[in-house]
């Protein structure tokens, strides 16, 4: 669906002067793209029910919207693909509200059906099937709507000049857990031997430059080789880099003195995401915790740190949104402290990142559940690098079965009597057909945004609780480059910026067990990860989340490709970067409901009312329990595992009371 330049001129579409520079020889104008593909949330979004003619248009839209997916197991599942998004919108738009007579009953009955194959869903299956909780082993079916398991803990894979590179689609890093705590025990149970990690070492004729080992580095922990870019927004044309701005106390930066003072306060060495508590938390839910949850993070930082709102919104909110969906003006001040159980946030001994992020963890869980699911042995190398054996995931002999491409559209207690029913009926759409299975218990391990639509007999109290869950959209672009000498010439391994696409990028040293090379240098191929949040400071939280999703959904792949190319070209052309020569591939990972954005009162309630998440966590609804990551208060795999354990414990008794 590419439109030649002469046709674009006739139809009034803009021809971008930068396209030839960026290697984009053809373009799709936004008007034509929207008219031909994004026809709204009605019939064009209902892929499972489309007539043949519309299905052909859907396929065309998918190609233009999804873009390339890289290579390997995850090539058809980067972010939320067009087809998956459409299936979810069909549920939202009421396509499956009325019971259908065309449902195929498989006759299958499971002890537990788990809706969602991300970390929380897979962990729940492990807890139920492995006798970890001290109960009987259960047979489980995991229903996952994507073409591969993992949720946001999936990866992109690239082949760049014969070298295989991996980067996370979403969930990426993990802190070293407390010894013999839940997370440490869980890692050991599945064979995720993080203590064996070894990272690439430097090999180059050029002097060594320190590299991070994770995509997330707190501002206070940035190395001296980190830079900050000041471009046209700061009156700099051409733009310029400042290397080690924090170490230089921002002297010489083209910013006002007040902003310089604010940044030093926000990013001092003691800071965690810019807002260390002035007094320690004695326990979760103490008076200070509740005070934090009564205000936004922005209000707290302005009152506690004495910085301007403008500085918070410009320099802090983009990174805050990378963890909690929206900026500091929208989220609870307590949202930054639910992350503090980690004992070490340093980049050397604390924060770690497996190859392809936490896809390594999900692969280890699946290998533990179904040994034949990934070829080879159970070690880090084989589990991370060997291909998934998709045919092995859903064999009848498996104690845990994983059924991919299955979009659950209805979950309801049999007979419509939640607290008296012996079974729950689960309907799912797959390959254009509807199927039904039954279970003695169900764990809803998908996001709250879809759970409230799928559980058909959900009480109004719980539905109202889910209405208090807000989710920010997020876009992660992984850009494979043939070398990164253009950063090295600037004197940086990575940097931040506050205009254009994304918020910055960096070069990482990879874990050696999954890399083709044990060494790294400026002439090595690399993946630059660019995270692009959607934040609109000052608008109501409900407006921000919708506005962000609309922006994410309404741009074609080529539109984002252009933005990425222009941004990188602007930052690095002076140091020799040529997008036509140096960019090997770009993969977009679009997450429409990527991260929970917990508003004030989300954690401990407000006006004397119970916190919405506690209503969903306290007990099962009949034979249905809830276990998605959001219930922990943020997008952390630690929360996912904890919520999975709680939900598994809640349904364990239900499985054996029929």
Report the alpha-carbon distance of residue 650 to residue 629 in Å, rounded: 16
- Please list, residue by residue across 459-479, b when 16 or more beta carbons sit within 10 angstroms of its beta carbon and e when fewer do: eeebeebbebbbbbbbbbbbb
pLDDT of residue 212: 85
CATH number of the domain encompassing residue 417: 3.50.50.60
**Is there a single domain that holds both residue 138 and residue 239?**
no
- Give me the long-range contacts of 381-385 (CB less than 8 A, separation at least 24): 381/513, 381/514, 383/191, 384/354, 384/355, 384/356, 384/360, 384/513, 384/514, 385/164, 385/513, 385/514
Q: DSSP letter at 110?
A: E
- Do 428 and 489 lie in one domain? The reply is no
Kindly state the tokens that stand for 21: 């520079």
* pLDDT tens, position by position, 316-368: 999 888 888 999 999 999 988 765 444 444 445 567 888 899 999 999 999 99
List Cα–Cα distances, 576 to 39, 203, 488, in angstroms.
42, 21, 10
Q: Do residues 166 and 271 share a domain?
A: yes
Structural domain includes residue 129: yes
Average pLDDT over residues 3-7: 40
Residue 271, pLDDT > 50, answer no
Q: Supply the pLDDT for residue 281.
A: 57
> Token pair of 654, please?
């239900």
Question: Is the domain of 234 the same as that of 321?
Answer: yes
Checking if the pLDDT of 299 tops 80, the result is yes
Distance CA 91, CA 128 (A): 29
CA dihedral of 362, 364, 370, 373, whole degrees rounded to 10? 80
Question: β-strands 226-230, 494-496: how paired?
Answer: parallel
pLDDT surpassing 60 at residue 149? yes
Look at residue 274 and tell me whether its pLDDT is greater than 50: no
538: left (phi over 0), alpha (psi -120 to 50) or beta: left
- Name the residue with higher pLDDT: 371 or 658: 371
Task: Kindly report which listed range (271-275, 567-571, 605-609) carries the lowest average pLDDT score.
Answer: 271-275
Q: Report the pLDDT averaged over residues 109-124.
A: 96
Q: Are strands 471-481 and 494-496 parallel, antiparallel or unpaired?
A: unpaired
**Joined tokens for residue 309:** 């709102």
Do 323 and 423 sit in the same domain of this protein? no
Tokens of 464: 């109202």
Q: Residue 351: its pLDDT value, please?
A: 75
CA separation for the pair 597, 574 (Å, rounded): 38
Residue among 151, 83, 74, 139 nearest 111 (CA): 139
Is the CB of residue 635 less than 8 Å from the CB of residue 508?
Answer: no
Lowest mean pLDDT among 113-117, 352-356, 617-621: 352-356
| Arithmetic mean of pLDDT, 70-98 | 90
Neighbours of 272 (CB within 10 A): 17
Kindly give, in sequence order, each residue whose CB lies less than 8 Å from that of residue 656, ignoring residues fewer than 6 positions away: 136, 440
Which of 169-183, 345-359, 406-420, 584-598 has the least mean pLDDT?
A: 345-359
Contact 358, 119 (CB under 8 A): yes
What angle, 0 to 180 degrees and rounded to 10, lies between the N-to-C axes of helices 52-66 and 82-92?
A: 120
Nearest C-alpha neighbor of 122 from the set 627, 631, 514:
627
**Backbone φ and ψ of 35, nearest 5°:** -65, -40
pLDDT in tens, 442-472: 999 998 899 999 999 999 999 999 999 999 9
The reported pTM is 0.89
pLDDT on residue 289: 86
Of 92-96, 177-181, 503-507, the least confident? 177-181
Q: Do the domain assignments include residue 243?
A: yes
Tell me the residue range of the domain where 625 lies. Answer: 106-145+406-458+621-655
Q: At what angle do helices 297-305 and 257-266 cross, to 10 degrees?
A: 110
Do 424 and 445 fall into the same domain? yes
Look up the CATH number of the domain holding residue 527.
Answer: 3.90.660
Q: Are residues 335 and 201 in the same domain?
A: yes
Residue 26, pLDDT score: 44
In a domain, 257, yes or no: yes
Do 294 and 165 fall into the same domain? yes
Look at residue 3 in the predicted model and tell me its pLDDT.
Answer: 35
Domain-located, residue 532: yes
| pLDDT more than 70, % of the chain | 84
Q: Residues near 434 by Cβ (< 8 Å), separated by ≥ 6?
A: 100, 102, 103, 104, 409, 427, 428
Look at the alpha carbons of 255, 260, 263, 264 in this order and tell me if their dihedral is positive or negative: positive
Q: Are residue 218 and residue 292 in the same domain, yes or no?
A: yes
- Split at pLDDT 50, 70, 90, the class of 437 is very high
Tokens representing residue 463 in the block: 């539905």
Mean pLDDT of 286-297: 90
Q: With left for phi above 0 and alpha for psi between -120 and 50, is residue 67 left, alpha or beta?
A: left
Which conformational region is residue 70 in: left (phi greater than 0), alpha (psi within -120 to 50 degrees), or beta?
Answer: left
**Whole-angstrom Cα distance, residue 335 to residue 364?**
29
- Cα(375)–Cα(382) distance, integer angstroms: 7
Give domain status of residue 51, yes or no: no
DSSP string, 117-168: -SHHHHHHHHHHHS-TTSS----EEEE-SSSSS-TT--EEEEEETTEEEEEE
Q: Do residues 221 and 295 both lie within one domain?
A: yes
What value does the CA radius of gyration of the chain take, rounded to a whole number of Å? 24
Read off the pLDDT band of 43 (50, 70, 90).
Answer: very low
Could you give the CA distance from residue 297 to residue 578 in angstroms, rounded to a whole number? 40
**Which range among 125-134, 326-335, 409-418, 557-566 shows the weakest confidence by mean pLDDT?**
125-134
**For the ranges 41-55, 82-96, 211-225, 374-388, the one whose mean pLDDT is highest:** 374-388
Question: Among residues of the chain, what percentage have pLDDT more than 90?
Answer: 65
Q: Which of 85, 145, 151, 148 is nearest to 406 (CA)?
A: 145
Question: Is residue 355, in this structure, part of any structural domain at all?
Answer: no
Q: Tabulate helix, strand, coil % of the chain (nearest 5).
A: 35, 20, 45
- pLDDT exceeds 80 at position 389: yes
- What does the pLDDT read at residue 283? 60
Mean confidence (pLDDT) of the chain = 85
Specify the pLDDT at position 350.
61
- Cβ distance 350 to 175 under 8 Å? yes
Question: Are 546 and 499 in a shared domain?
Answer: yes
Residue 531 lies in a domain: yes
* Same domain membership, residue 166 and residue 308: yes
87 inside domain: no
What average pLDDT does this structure show over 620-636?
Answer: 91
Least confident of 267-281, 372-386, 499-513, 598-612: 267-281
Structural domains of the chain, count = 2
Residue 253, classified by CB atoms within 10 Å of its CB into exposed (0-12), middle (13-18) or buried (19+), is middle
Average pLDDT over residues 278-296: 77
């Amino acid at each position: 669906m590419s439109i030649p330049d002469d046709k674009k001129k006739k139809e009034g579409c803009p021809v971008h002067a930068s396209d030839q520079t960026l290697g984009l020889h053809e373009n799709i104008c936004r008007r034509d793209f929207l008219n031909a593909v994004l026809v709204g949330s009605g019939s064009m979004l209902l892929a499972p029910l489309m007539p043949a003619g519309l299905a052909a248009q859907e396929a065309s839209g998918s190609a233009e919207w999804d873009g390339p997916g890289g290579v390997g197991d995850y090539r058809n599942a980067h972010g939320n693909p067009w087809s998956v998004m459409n299936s979810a919108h069909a549920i939202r738009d009421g396509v499956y509200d009325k019971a259908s007579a065309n449902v195929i009953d498989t006759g299958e009955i499971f002890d537990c059906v788990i809706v969602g194959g991300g970390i929380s869903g897979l962990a729940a299956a492990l807890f139920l099937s492995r006798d970890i909780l001290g109960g009987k082993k259960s047979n489980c079916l995991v229903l996952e709507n994507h073409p591969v398991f993992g949720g946001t803990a999936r990866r992109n894979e690239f082949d760049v000049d014969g070298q295989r590179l991996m980067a996370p689609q979403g969930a990426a890093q993990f802190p070293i857990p407390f010894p013999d705590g839940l997370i440490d025990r869980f890692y050991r149970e599945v064979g995720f031997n993080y203590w064996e990690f070894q990272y690439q070492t430097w090999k180059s004729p050029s002097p060594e430059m320190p590299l991070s080992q994770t995509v997330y580095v707190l501002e206070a922990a940035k190395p001296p080789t980190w830079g900050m870019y000041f471009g046209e927004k700061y009156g700099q044309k051409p733009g310029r880099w400042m290397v080690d701005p924090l170490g230089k106390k921002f002297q010489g930066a083209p910013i006002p003195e007040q902003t310089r003072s604010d940044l030093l306060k926000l990013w001092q060495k003691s800071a965690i995401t810019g807002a260390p508590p002035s007094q320690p938390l004695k326990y979760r839910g103490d008076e200070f915790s509740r005070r934090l949850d009564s205000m936004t993070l922005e209000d707290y930082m302005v009152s506690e740190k004495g910085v301007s709102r403008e500085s918070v919104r410009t320099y802090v909110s983009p990174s805050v949104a990378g963890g909690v969906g929206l900026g500091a003006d929208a989220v609870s001040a307590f949202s930054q402290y639910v992350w503090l159980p980690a004992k070490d946030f340093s980049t050397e001994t604390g924060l770690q990142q497996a190859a392809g992020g936490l896809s390594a963890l999900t692969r280890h869980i699946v290998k533990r559940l179904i040994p034949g699911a990934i070829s080879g042995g159970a070690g880090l190398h084989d589990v991370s690098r060997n291909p998934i054996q998709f045919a092995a995931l859903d064999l009848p002999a498996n104690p845990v079965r994983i059924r991919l491409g299955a979009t659950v559209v209805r979950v309801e207690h049999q007979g419509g009597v939640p607290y008296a029913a012996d079974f729950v009926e689960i309907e799912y759409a797959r390959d254009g057909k509807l199927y039904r299975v039954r279970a003695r218990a169900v764990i809803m391990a998908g996001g709250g945004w879809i759970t409230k639509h799928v559980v058909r007999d959900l009480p109004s109290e719980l539905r109202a609780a889910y209405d208090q869950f807000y989710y920010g959209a997020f876009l992660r672009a992984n850009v494979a480059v043939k070398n990164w000498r253009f950063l090295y010439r600037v004197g940086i391994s990575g940097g931040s910026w506050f205009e254009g696409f994304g918020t910055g990028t960096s070069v990482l040293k990879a874990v050696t067990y999954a890399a083709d090379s044990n060494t790294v240098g400026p002439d090595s191929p690399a993946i630059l990860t660019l995270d692009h949040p959607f934040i609109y400071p000052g608008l109501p939280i409900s407006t921000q989340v919708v506005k962000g999703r609309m922006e994410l959904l309404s741009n074609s792949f080529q539109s984002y490709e252009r933005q990425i190319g222009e941004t990188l070209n602007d930052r690095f052309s002076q140091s020799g970067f040529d997008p036509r020569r140096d960019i090997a591939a770009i993969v977009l990972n679009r997450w429409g409901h990527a991260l929970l954005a917990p508003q004030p009162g989300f954690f401990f309630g407000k006006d004397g009312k119970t916190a919405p998440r506690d209503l969903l966590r306290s007990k099962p609804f009949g034979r249905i329990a809830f276990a998605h990551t959001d219930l922990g208060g943020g997008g952390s795999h630690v929360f996912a595992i904890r919520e999975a354990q709680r939900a598994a414990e809640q349904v364990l008794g239900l499985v054996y009371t029929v």
